[in-house]
Amino acid sequence: MPKISVIIPVYNAAKYLKDCLDSLNKQSYADFEVVVVDDGSIDETKNILSEYARLDSRLVVLSQTNTGPSAARNKGLDHARGEYICFVDADDLLHPQYLEICLYFAQVNQAALVACSYTSFKEVIPHWERLNVAAIPFVKSDSPVLLGCCLGPYAIHYTVWGKLYHRSLLADCRFPEDQVFYEDLAFLYALWAKRPTTVSLSAPLYAYRNADSSLTHQGAGLRHLADFSRALKRIQQCYLPPQLAEEKRFLIQDFIPSILKNLLYRCRHADRTIRREMFALFGKELFLLRQAGWLQKKGNSWRKFLIYQCLIQMYKRGIL
């Protein structure tokens, strides 16, 4: 069985898929499989996958009707055979030593989670320098939430990609299939609540393609708020145990302000036909956050905190 399973959900990914698969073919570590789940593509994706699978037996291609990236990742998890798992998006790239480096730090530190930094690009493919693995700076922690809330080169980002997971860590965790947006958050924070031994690397080993067509760049909509609400309810449930009080405090003071800032921006820039409804849903969510004790001044600017209070009052009075 392969040591590592790389899971890639794909949907109409023909434009960039070859670049992604080529970056896997160039890996310095060879004992891995690639589980690609085609989520009902209607472009040339299927032909590209057939071509690469014919040339490399490590590539396993699965298909399903279009049900979203969460369902595709879950299907990948069901079929993955590796002791370690990582996720890659179909338009992104990996440093040639990505798997080698992540596995090295996982084994040396007996870590269930290894996270790396990333670089962002549009069309020009990054130039990768060969790295001295043992010399890469890192930090080790038993609380990935606290690393996720820190600043600097060792901050863990709110994405499922750019990480290597031991299979045992994923045993009872699934991606929420009722979410299109923020599904990463619900999945990650369920894992992080287990407080796995975590290594965070400062090296940018993952290249995120900043494509205008990606889900993160799609226009603001009501689905963003609905999915945020679903994700947040799941996260709040994970951090009820008293032994996670410190992690919960960090989430309230760092994670929540960051997400709210993003949602406020989406509301302000929503299409005029749904803007009022967006603000109404946002006001309701803010009200529920305050009731649960998850909306506090610390971590928010005074200006934004006052805006949130105003939106809560407008929601309560039925003005929105």
Instruction: Give the pLDDT confidence of 117-133 residue by residue, as tens digits.
Output: 999 998 888 899 999 99
In terms of residue numbers, what domain contains 92? 4-215
Quick one: 151 and 271 in the same domain? no
- pLDDT, one tens digit per residue, over 258-267 is 999 999 999 9
156 and 20 share a domain?
yes
For residue 151, give the amino acid letter.
L
Same domain, 189 and 245: no
Q: Verify that 152 and 62 share a domain, yes or no.
A: yes
Per-residue pLDDT at 58 exceeds 50: yes
| Residues 58, 151 within the same domain | yes
Are 58 and 196 members of one domain? Answer: yes
DSSP track, 93-112: EE-TTHHHHHHHHHHHTT-S
Nearest to 29 by CA among 98, 80, 94: 98
Residue 229 DSSP SS3: helix
Residue-level pLDDT at 214: 52
User: Crossing angle, helix 14-25 and helix 45-55, to 10 degrees?
Assistant: 20
Residues 92 and 163 in one domain: yes
Q: Where are the alpha helices (DSSP H) in 193-271?
A: 222-238, 245-250, 256-268
Global pTM?
0.92
Which of 172, 192, 215 terminates a domain? The answer is 215
If one counts the domains in the chain, the total is 2
With a cut of 60, say whether residue 220 has pLDDT above it: no
Say yes or no: 249 and 124 in one domain: no
pLDDT of amino acid 53: 96
- Residues 68 and 187 both lie in one domain: yes
Residues 265 and 293 in one domain: yes
CATH number of the domain that residue 209 is part of:
3.90.550.10
